[in-house]
Amino acid sequence: MYFIDTHTHLYSTEFDSDRTEMVENAIKAGVKKLLLPNIDVASIEPMYRLCEEFPQNCFPMMGLHPGYVNENWEQDLLIIKKAIDENKHIAIGEIGMDLYWDKTFIEEQKKAFRIQIEWAKELNLPIVIHARDAFDEIFEILDELNDAALSGVFHCFTGTLEQAQKINSYGGFYLGIGGVLTYKKSDLPSVLTEIPLEQIIVETDAPYLPPTPHRGKRNESKFLLHVAEKVAEVKNCSLMEVARITSENAEKLFQLK
pLDDT value of residue 173:
98
Q: What is the mean pLDDT of residues 152-162?
A: 98
- Specify the amino acid at residue 73: W
State the DSSP H helix or E strand holding residue 253, giving kind and residue range, or none if neither. Answer: helix 239-253
Q: What percent of the chain has pLDDT over 70?
A: 100
Q: Which runs of E-coded beta strand occur in the chain?
A: 3-5, 31-36, 58-60, 92-98, 127-132, 152-155, 173-177, 200-202
- Burial of 177 (C-beta count, 10 Å sphere; 0-12/13-18/19+): buried
| Dist CA 4 CA 7 (whole Å) | 9
pTM for the full model?
0.98
For residue 203, name the pLDDT band (cuts at 50, 70, 90): very high
- Answer yes or no: are the C-beta atoms of 30 and 225 closer than 8 Å: yes
State the DSSP H helix or E strand holding residue 195, giving kind and residue range, or none if neither. Answer: none
Q: How many CB atoms lie within 10 A of CB 65?
A: 20
Q: What is the mean pLDDT of residues 201-208?
A: 98
pLDDT value of residue 121:
98
The residue among 119, 140, 133, 128 whose CA lies nearest residue 8 is 128
pLDDT at 142 over 80: yes
| Dist CA 6 CA 91 (whole Å) | 11
Q: What percent of the chain has pLDDT over 90?
A: 99
Q: What is the DSSP string of 48-91?
A: HHHHHHSTTTEEE-B---GGG-STTHHHHHHHHHHHHHHS--S-
pLDDT tens digits, 7-22: 999 999 999 999 999 9
The CATH class of 3-253 is alpha beta
**Is residue 126 reached through a cis peptide bond, with omega within 30 degrees of 0 on the bond before it?**
no
pLDDT at 101 over 90: no
pLDDT value of residue 257:
77
**Average pLDDT score, the chain:** 97
- Answer yes or no: are the C-beta atoms of 75 and 123 closer than 8 Å: no
The residue among 211, 205, 219 whose CA lies nearest residue 39 is 205
pLDDT value of residue 49:
98
Task: Report in angstroms the alpha-carbon separations of 20 from 7, 17, 183.
Answer: 17, 9, 28
- Answer yes or no: are the C-beta atoms of 38 and 82 closer than 8 Å: no
pLDDT value of residue 128:
98
The residue among 159, 174, 180 whose CA lies nearest residue 231 is 180
